[in-house]
Structures are given as C-alpha cells and as structure tokens.
Structure 1
Amino acid sequence: MLHVRVISPADRTDEVLAIAADCPAAVNVIKLPGAAYDPAGDVVEFDVAREGANGILAELRGLGLKDSGGIAVEHVDLSISTAAEGAGDAAPGDPEDAVVWEELSARTNAETRMTWSYMAFLALAVQIAAIGALLDQPILIVGAMVLGPDFGPVAAMCFGVLQRDLRLIGAAARTLAIGYSVAVAITLVFAVLSRLLGWIEPSMLDDRPLTSFIIHPDRWSFVVAVLAGVAGILSMTARKSSVLVGVFISVTTVPAAGNIAVAIALAHWDEVGASFVQLGVNLAGMILAGVGTLLVQRIMWARFGRSTSVRVPR
C-alpha cells in the first residue's frame, strides 16, 4: 500500500475527495479542513494499492496541485485493515509487479545529479578495479563492481528514452561521461605516480588469466549486459534493491574504466581500445534492455482498467 497526503486549496478539496472516493483501490480517506499552513489549504490523506496508484496520481496532478498545493507519497510497511485488503483485491495485478511511474520518474531524476558522493564512489570503484587488473585478482574486480554507482544514470537514460525526454537523457549521459572521465583521470594520476615509484611496471598487464575478460569483449559481454539491464530495471520498479548487487557484479563497466587508466599509464595501448569497447558494449546492452523492459511494463499496465490505468508522467 501507498499513503498519499494531499495539500489542496479549499476550492479543490471536493474534487480531491471525489477522486479518492471513486477509486476502488483507495481506502481510509481523511479530510482535515484548514490543516495546512504553508501553502494554506485543506489536507486530504488516503491509502491506495500500488496497482491503482498511477491513475489516481495522474488525476490529482491534473488538478494543478503541484503548483497550488502538494502531493506526497510514502510506502506503508504494515496495514492492518480489512478495507485495505479489499482495495488490494479490487486492483488487478500484484503490488510487486506494479510500476508507479511518478515514483520512477522522481527516482531516475535524482540519479542524474552530479553529487560528490556519486563521484567519490565511482572514483573509488575504478581505482579498486585498476588494482584488481594489475594484480589479476578477481575478488577486487567483484568488489569494484559492487561499489560502482553507475547503474543509476543508466536507468535514468532508459526512462528518458521511454519518455522521449531529451533533458533527462542529456543529464544522465552527462553524469555518466563526466563521472567516468573524472574517475579514470584520478586513477590514471595514481597509476602514473605508482609507476614512477616503481610499484607497478608494464609486465604486470602481460599475463592475466583470471581477469583477461576485461579486455576481451564479445557477444557474451553483450548478452550478460542485456540480462543485467532487465534485472536492474525490474529491481527498481519492484523496489528490490538487493537485486541491484547482482546487476553490479554482472557488468564490466567499472573494471573496463579501471583498466583504461592503468593501460594508459603502462603504455598498453591495445588494451585501452579494447577496454573502451568493453565499456561501450556493456552500456549499450543495459540501455537497450532497460528501455525494452520499461516499454513492456508500460504496455502490460496499460491493459488494466481505470483504477489501474498507467499514465506515464510527462
């Protein structure tokens, strides 16, 4: 279940109440006249099954409440209510499969922000991957994959393509490009310093039987990226954050970026190109799969009736 809190101008409150009352997936409707202070207005609260959230949120947005009031949505971890159980039964589908498009829109927009924490995590992940490539240590490569935060912008780009939102696509692409560029540059600086100190040498990249997959992109790299992209989008829409760990471990984006840095520092120019190809293959596979997965989900949810109609926010 989702809990919705609406701040509504007094002249819109009856419409808000009608929307909640007419939706069979909504229950526990509460009206608090004049309870809102800033912005001033009434407060209306209700619970709604995830499967029926898209239609009701679209109707509330259509009242212009984004500008004249506000709409807040939060997840209900426990609801002990026969009425709530009935609302869930009235909404076709399963809450685990429901895609709340407003929620996904807010989450993907947040993933495009160029934050210090994003840059730090990506830089650290790429450096660990670079050390793993130098030492031929798969465990370090796996650790770097888990640490990398790069799937967020990839998911945002997928949603942007589905929405035909050039602003979102551009922001996601910029976050990926700048993030990888900065992470590789930082790793390259440390790699050059390590070579000057005699800590690393070109021969360390000559024979790496355990991590050579980084520089050998093939059809399986693309297949794995596609599968990971599907799993990643499903984990976001179903709110299964633990599944994302498996997605991170499946793709070779961060290891490829780390290998680019050390290959440049050690003048293994053939590996630089191969690593770029590996990075591109993985990103392309995830983006194609992510867009396809979101498209299938939108088509499936569009088949439901009014109470569960899927109206993708624009």
Structure 2
Amino acid sequence: MRYLEIAVQEGKRRAVLDILESEGIEYVVSDETSGRGYAAVVRFPVPTQAVEPLLDRLKRAGIGDEASVVVINAETVISEGFATLRERYSRGGQTGSRTSRQVLRTKADELTPPFAIYTVMLLISAVVATAGLLADSPAVVIGAMVIAPLLGPALAANIGIVTGDSRLKRTGFTYQIAGVAMVVVSSIALAMLARLAGLEPAGVDIVVATELEERVAPNLFSLAVALGAGIAGILSLTRGFSEAIVGVMIAAALIPPSAAVGITVAWGMSGAAIGAAGLVVVNLLSINLAALTTLWIAGYRPQGLFEVSPTRTPTYTYAAIFGIGLLVLAAPLAGVTLLDFHTTELQSAAESEVNAVLAEPQYDELESDEVAVELDGDYPTQSVDRVVVTVSGREPGPEPGLADRIYKAIRPHSDGSLVVEVQYVIAEERGKNATAEAAVERGRRTAAAESRP
C-alpha cells in the first residue's frame, strides 16, 4: 500500500478531486498557504497497483511536473472503502504489487551510488578479485562480488530506457562501462606487481588455476549467470525481493572476468585475454537484454495497440542492439561448449578403449592409472592436443607396440588429428602384504612412448 501526498497547483484542484472521486478514492484536502503557487495539498491511500495508472491519469489531466508528489509506504489502512478499492485493483487475485514507473526510477537512482564511492568500492573489489584469482581461492573471489556496487547501474540504464529518463539511462551506461574499465586497469596493475614480485602460483601458464581457467575459455553456460542476474535484478526492484543477493549475481558475471582480463594481459597471454574480454562483453549484453526484456514483460511499456510513445522506438532499438551483439559474440562460446562435449566424450571413450586393450593377455602386468585429454592451450578457442594414458607395471620399461595399439583403438573416436602418449610408472611392492603402490617417478625411472598418425 502507498500513501500519496500531492501539492496541487493553482487551477488544478477540481481536476484532481474529480479524478479521485471517479476512482472511489477517499482523500483529505487542506489549503496550501506557503505562497509557492500551490492551491491545496491532497492526501490519500491507494493500493500499490493503483499508483502508476493514477499518476498517469493525473498527468493526462494536466497535473504534470509542476505538481509536487510524495509516495510513502503505508503499513495499514483501516477503511471499508479502501478494501473495496484494493479488491478492484487486485482483480480478485493476489494483493502483491508491481512497483510504479515513478517509484521504480527513484529506487534505481538510490541504488546507484555517487561516482566517488562507486569508484572506491570497485577498486577494492578489483584488488580482492585479482588476489582471489591469482591465489585460486573461490572464497576470496566471492568476497569481491559481495562488495561490488553493480546492481544500480545495471538496472538504471534499462529503467531509463523504458521510462524515457535520459539522465538515468546515461548514468547507468556510464557507470557500467567505467566500472568494467576500472576493474580491468586495476587488475593489470596488481597482476604486474605480482608477476614482478615472482608470485606465479601456476608457473608460466597462469591460467591453469581453476578460478581463472573457466573465465578465459567460457562456454554457453556462462550466460546463465548474467541472464539470471538481469531478470532477478528487475524482479528485485519491481516485486520487493532482496537487492543485495541479486547484486552479488551481477557482480559474479562481471567482476571475475574483468579481473581475468587484467591478469592475462599482465602475463602477455593475448588469446586468454580475448576470451575473458569476450565473456565480459557477453555478460554485459546479457544483463542489459534480460533486464530490458523483463521490464517489458512486467508491463513497463507503452499501453494500447495504437499508442505512440517516445519510449517505444528506443526500447526496440536497444533490445535489437543487445540481442544482435549477444548472438554474434555468443558464437565462439558455442564452439567452446561443443569442444567441452567432445572432450568429455573422447575421454570416456578413451578410458573404455584403454581398459579393453589392457585386458588382453599380453598386458596382464599393466594397469591403467589415468587417461587424460589435454588441450593445446590456444585460448579462447582451443582444440584437442593429445590423449595421455598413464599405465603402471612392475617392469621399468615401455611395452613394445602398446602405444600403437592404444592409438588404433582411440583414433576412431576423434574427428581430427590425434596424438596418443603412453606414460609408464613403476608399481613397487612394499610391506608384508606385498601391496602394489603406484609411484610416479619423473626423469630417470619414467618411460614414455608416443603414437602419432
């Protein structure tokens, strides 16, 4: 429920009262004596669903920006007339409410902090996210998401589009672009310092860290977070859900990938940087497209088939830009997704074939320890580089012909050229029970055999 207070300008008092009476709204009127051009102050409670249509009707009657309107949350209204009004606006269904366009703009504006505070919070988030990715620490990365103030800007831009608020739209897009740029630049600086200090947790190939690898080679499933965040963000404003939790979702889609861009740039890995940057742009487009679409579906659009609204064309234009951009940039993600499926299938098939080969009588002394499909590391669109098969046995040398035998068994499951590498480890007998333990010894006691097409 809402409680409205409207300061009505001279000559508009009767028009306002006629509208309220036609709606069956109980009101209180008092004279306004401040001498600021207002004739009266009208106060009345209404269901939340009634705020937007009522304000729109008052605007069409000439009660526009010159009037002063205050909308306040009301806890309880005890009135038989109000109960009838609420039933009419809820159409006999739930009394849950949709926030009016006017209140929606205010809430989006409140969630967008002053730029100085926004900058400081994002810089802190960038430092924490970069440290978390370098340390491969999920907990630290989550901490960076919690403090990033990205919810307001992400929603303000689209609310500005559908409500025709150019200031809100401009602020939202400016904050989003500037925020991502700040995170990337800060991450580059911090990662450069870490590299100069010799803090390379994963050696030369920094992206083998799990938290970083999934951001530089994203697949289509990465879109789920961004799309869900955009939808949930609008619902949090229009239906009163928790904005804090939704803000973490939006930060999850933007902060870690932006930090990954900075880290890979600092390490000079252009392909990985392109992959992470592509994920950032795709997530930005996804969040905005999902938010704009949700606003449209929720009814924040021009009403009436023949209504001409200044927000209709901009809404369609931005939706087309977001949608086309997303389709174009999502193509590489689809390729990565197909590669993931192919890699999983190849590994499963390779494990079955290796077990079948080693089950043959001549290989009774050998056992399969591990079968791994390795990619070539050519980010962001990788390909299968080789299949590494690790077998254990008591003899310290390779088994003649085994690599070729395994290669011929695995080759039909691969679409392109394939390298199969067989590595041998020594199974040592220890203890009274003569238990065989796989002891991987690199260098002197490890033998390897490769089979190529």
CA RMSD of aligned residues (A): 3.1
Displacement, 1:235? 0.9
Q: Deviations over 1:34-56 (max 9, x none)?
A: 25454543111111111111111
2:84 matched residue in structure 1 = 86
- Name the SS for the 1:217 alignment partner: coil
Q: Is the 8 A contact 2:215 2:256 kept in 1?
A: yes
Distance 1:157 1:34, change over 3 A: closer
1:48 matched residue in structure 2 = 46
Q: Is the 8 A contact 1:7 1:44 kept in 2?
A: yes
Query: What are structure 2's unaligned runs of at least 5 residues?
Result: 312-453
Q: Is the 8 A contact 2:183 2:255 kept in 1?
A: no
Q: Is the 8 A contact 1:221 1:281 kept in 2?
A: no
2:171 matched residue in structure 1 = 171
- Name the SS for the 2:98 alignment partner: coil
2:122 matched residue in structure 1 = 122
Distance, in Å, in 2 between the alignment partners of 1:20 and 1:100 is 18
2:224 matched residue in structure 1 = 223
Letter in 1 for 2:215: I
Instruction: State the TM-score, normalized to the length of structure 1.
Output: 0.83
Q: Which moved more, 1:260-269 or 1:32-41?
A: 32-41
Q: Is the 8 A contact 2:3 2:44 kept in 1?
A: yes
Larger relative contact order (C-alpha < 8 A, sep ≥ 6)? Answer: 1
- Name the SS for the 1:193 alignment partner: helix
2:154 matched residue in structure 1 = 154
2:316 matched residue in structure 1 = none
Query: What are structure 1's unaligned runs of at least 5 residues?
Result: 304-310
- Name the SS for the 1:11 alignment partner: coil
**Greater share of strand:** 2
Q: Is the 8 A contact 1:231 1:247 kept in 2?
A: no
Aligned pair count? Answer: 304
Distance 1:52 1:259, change over 3 A: same
Letter in 2 for 1:214: R
Distance, in Å, in 2 between the alignment partners of 1:247 and 1:150 is 6
Q: Is the 8 A contact 1:111 1:152 kept in 2?
A: yes
Q: Which moved more, 1:146-155 or 1:60-69?
A: 60-69
1:307 matched residue in structure 2 = none
Distance, in Å, in 2 between the alignment partners of 1:35 and 1:78 is 30
- Name the SS for the 1:252 alignment partner: helix
**Greater share of helix:** 1
Q: Deviations over 1:198-241 (max 9, x none)?
A: 4557738242124532223211112332222211111111122x
Distance, in Å, in 2 between the alignment partners of 1:38 and 1:181 is 46
**The structure with more radius of gyration:** 2
> Is structure 2 residue 71 aligned with structure 1 residue 70?
no
Distance, in Å, in 2 between the alignment partners of 1:30 and 1:165 is 31
Letter in 2 for 1:61: K
Distance 1:301 1:48, change over 3 A: farther
